Amino acid sequence: MEAIAVFEALPASDPNCFEKTEVETPVPAGRDILVRIDAISINPVDSKERLGIAGRLDEPLILGWDTCGEVISVGEDVKKFKPGDMVISAGDITRPGCYAEYQLLDERIVGRKPEGLTCEEAATLPLTTLVAWESLFDRLEISRNDAEGPALLIIGAAGGLGSMAIQFARQFSNCTIITTASRPESQKWCKELGAHHVIDHSGDLAEQLKAIGYETVPYILNCSNNLPYWEIMSELVSPEGAICLVASTKAKLDLDLYMAKSVQINYELMFTRSMFSTDKMSLQGDLLDKLSDMISHGTVRHVMTENFGPMTTETLAKAHAHIEKGRMLGKMALSGIQRR
């Protein structure tokens, strides 16, 4: 099958950043299904994995962890899907990704494609849905039955993750949702998705929170880099509050800033359950199935804002360059590789 791979950490502007390659089409066994890739979405993790390569690889690295496509064949232990089913998945970072004609996926982390959406729209949903849901309800442990309306601060909320987190918090909690966004279009986007308040992360966050009536907040979801917000988050979080981080941090962070308040610091990595085959792995497939129902009932909406066309070395490079600017509004998608 044809795939588009990376071999070294070249800038997206380099014409050799991505290379076409031929690899063997995988054959499903056990609980695996083989999916024909009809559309994909790009996430910051794609760029981070590409730029994290040291030297030149001997074997092609196939990136991509947001896909929508048709089941072509299934392993002998598969019970959930059959050939012809349309599905979505965020994949497994330890296995080849979706910048290819086909991808092998464990059925436990796969869900039904939402009806009424194009493949491109559907492909923008899996990864951010899983990260947002797990961050809010598994890591921060926000109660969906809390009647008090605790405040939730989402830092960097206009991207794909924040876009889904706003919707889930609005629909499945009683939180007062405070988001940060710096541009007029991103502030408007957050409001449209359900944020109660939008403040500007390029300004004084503490003063802006006070202006809307909050000295501190019990929950913070940081969708951005940790280092720029590390000290201010320690001031903004309430005593015995909780913070969820989704980005890795190379610098050493001073955890003692949070000791006096007994703050709970959580990391959310969507790939943990598939990497370690935890007993909660199948919850991801279940959630993606629930997402299809949410879309059908109008509870949440897709967040695709840009379509870069069919997957090629050129369009993938453009998509990576775009996401590396750090100014995404919602999510971007590409169609599958054009078959000969």
Residue pLDDT, tens place only, 119-169: 999 999 999 999 999 999 999 999 877 667 899 999 999 999 999 999 999
Chain position carrying tokens 């994909």 = 40
Quote the CA–CA distance of 278 and 276 in Å, as a whole number.
Answer: 5
The whole-number pLDDT of residue 147 equals 65
| 123 residue type, one letter | A
The fraction of the chain above a pLDDT of 70, given in percent, is 99
The contacts of residue 18 (CB under 8 Å, 6+ apart) are 4, 5, 6, 99, 313, 316, 317
The whole-number pLDDT of residue 230 equals 96
The contacts of residue 247 (CB under 8 Å, 6+ apart) are 222, 224, 225, 226
| 186 residue type, one letter | S
Is 232 exposed, middle or buried, given 0-12, 13-18 or 19+ CB atoms closer than 10 A? middle
Quote the CA–CA distance of 69 and 165 in Å, as a whole number.
Answer: 25
The whole-number pLDDT of residue 14 equals 97
With residue 192 as reference, give the H or E element that holds it.
Answer: helix 184-193
The whole-number pLDDT of residue 340 equals 63
The whole-number pLDDT of residue 11 equals 97
pLDDT in tens, 7-33: 999 999 999 999 999 999 999 999 999
Taking the CB of residue 179, how many other CB atoms lie within 10 A of it?
Answer: 31
The whole-number pLDDT of residue 251 equals 79
Quote the CA–CA distance of 69 and 62 in Å, as a whole number.
Answer: 17
The whole-number pLDDT of residue 327 equals 85
Strand partners, 178: 153, 197
CB distance 6 to 97 below 8 Å? no
Going along the chain from its start, the domains and CATH numbers come out as 2-125+278-335 (3.90.180.10), 129-267 (3.40.50.720)
Q: At what angle do helices 184-193 and 160-172 cross, to 10 degrees?
A: 30
With residue 171 as reference, give the H or E element that holds it.
Answer: helix 160-172
Strand partners, 222: 155, 245
Q: Which residues of the chain have pLDDT under 50?
A: none
Tokens representing residue 251 in the block: 């610098």
Quote the CA–CA distance of 132 and 137 in Å, as a whole number.
Answer: 9
pTM of the model: 0.96
